[in-house]
Amino acid sequence: MRRMEGYTLIQLLVAMAISIIGLSALYTVIFQGYGYVGSNAIADHQRMRLGLERMIYELRESSPDTVEISDDGNGIGFASPRGSDGSFELNPDGSPRWVKAVVYFLSDGRLYRYEEGKTDWSTNFDPDLVFQCDRKSEWHEIAGSIEAVSFQISGDMVSIHLRMTDGLSIDTSVRMRN
């Protein structure tokens, strides 16, 4: 009698079971990776939102007279009346006493915040000064995955445009105190 060539039912079932296990493992690995990337994007969005809220809060306490925007428009420096302990400093006449300079700027796809004590406001704080080597250790990262940021001032309004690498774009304006 001649032997038939081919696979037995048992061999086919074992091959199918192994294939299903392999595909399940591959599916799990791929979609966990997508979930990880997605969770990073969500974390970046949350950090950006919190950083933007803080920036708006600080700008509202400042004055347009103290604002300095970098030449390329991706950095802004302004005066703050908040002391190192967070207290709001006032002059004897009740006006805000500017005690520090606050700078927000973009560097290598990240938005940073920098602050430095400053009491002489005869000139504003140049945002480009943050790039001097002795200041880099004082940079505080606000958010990553930033493609572009730009600041503009018109009267007492500061316009902010942020664009993240995933395409999220935020445009807002802040009215400052006079």
Read off the pLDDT of residues 15-71 as tens digits, 9 standing for 90 and up: 899 999 988 888 777 766 655 556 677 888 888 999 999 999 999 999 999 999 999
Split into its structural domains, the chain has a count of 1
Q: Is residue 25 part of a domain?
A: no
Q: Is residue 17 part of a domain?
A: no
Structural domain span for residue 142? 35-175
What number of other Cβ atoms are within 10 A of residue 62's Cβ? 24
Give this prediction's pTM. 0.76
The pLDDT tens digits of the residues spanning 67-115 come to: 999 999 999 999 999 988 889 999 999 999 999 999 999 999 999 999 9
Q: Is residue 91 part of a domain?
A: yes
Residue 1, pLDDT > 60, answer no
Q: Is residue 65 part of a domain?
A: yes
How far is 168 from 161, CA to CA, in rounded Å?
11
3-class secondary structure, 144: coil
Q: Is residue 19 part of a domain?
A: no
Distance (Å) of CA 38 to CA 24, 74, 108: 21, 27, 21
Q: How many CA atoms lie within 13 A of 42 on its CB side?
A: 6
Distance (Å) of CA 3 to CA 8, 12, 13: 12, 18, 21
Q: Is residue 18 part of a domain?
A: no
Q: Is residue 153 part of a domain?
A: yes
Yes or no: say if 76 and 103 are a contact pair by the CB < 8 Å rule: yes
Q: Is residue 10 part of a domain?
A: no
* Phi-psi region at 172: left, alpha or beta (left = phi > 0; alpha = psi -120 to 50): beta
